[in-house]
Amino acid sequence: MKRVLLSWSSGKDSAWALHLLRRDPEVEVCGLLTTLNAEFDRVAMHGTRRSVLEAQARAAELPLWIVPLPWPCSNEIYEQRMAEVCKRAIEERIDAIAFGDLFLPDVRAYRENQLKNTGLEPLFPLWQIPTDELASEMIAGGLRARLSCVDTKQLPAEFAGREFDSSLLSDLPREVDPCGERGEFHTCVYAGPMFTATLPIATGEIVDRDGFVFADFQ
């Protein structure tokens, strides 16, 4: 059986990747790997609080592998921290790291290059599933999430905090990917078949930082 560490963003794609990996009898998911902005104690870009992240891990019944990153963080520091994680993974008999990437070839190539010569296999369980089909499949499958971050250069600010549901999909501008794969939006998952319980999150403050609008969930 292949022992897998899952790159966990706190959002819908990594959550659905977990769901699919657990349906594979040849795979054992051993933990959730998350980089955390140490300055704000939140998941980078998604803005998810550590407390919500930890609740997600409990609901998924998996240990968290948290990688604290300084702010600002250079690429050199990021790659150094990730190299340390890879070394630990090998020591703990992990065979692969899975990612929730969907279709951007440069992102996949970067992941593959990161793991090259580490002894860890990169896995992409959602790769090239058409994103309109994937988004509908997630919603129909019981995944529940809210938009935690919106890039206002690509999507109106009022989408921040909205439920990721069929109504939202129908309201998205045509040029916006249904899964937000080009960074149009990020999500925070609070329920789904990958969790043992629904997280009782509440929407708090909504703030604009440098063109990105964040909805705070707690």
Give the pLDDT of residue 61. 98
Maximum separation of any 2 CA atoms in the chain, in Å = 47
The predicted-structure confidence for 75-109, as pLDDT tens digits, reads as follows 888 889 999 999 999 999 999 999 999 999 999 99
| Percent of the chain predicted with pLDDT > 70 | 100
Tell whether the model's pLDDT for residue 140 goes beyond 90. Answer: yes
- pTM here is 0.96
Selected residue with higher pLDDT from 181 and 76? 181
Considering the chain, what is the average pLDDT of its residues? Answer: 96
Tell whether the model's pLDDT for residue 66 goes beyond 90. Answer: yes
The predicted-structure confidence for 106-134, as pLDDT tens digits, reads as follows 999 999 999 999 999 999 999 999 999 99
Domains plus CATH for the chain? 2-123 (3.40.50.620), 137-217 (no CATH)
CB 11 within 8 A of CB 17: no
The predicted-structure confidence for 42-59, as pLDDT tens digits, reads as follows 998 888 999 999 999 999
Tell whether the model's pLDDT for residue 150 goes beyond 90. Answer: yes
Tokens of 82: 């990730």
**Pairwise CA distance, residues 175 & 38, whole Å:** 34
Tell whether the model's pLDDT for residue 65 goes beyond 90. Answer: yes
Q: How far, in whole angstroms, is CA 160 from its chain's centroid?
A: 17
Tokens 């080009």 sit on residue: 182
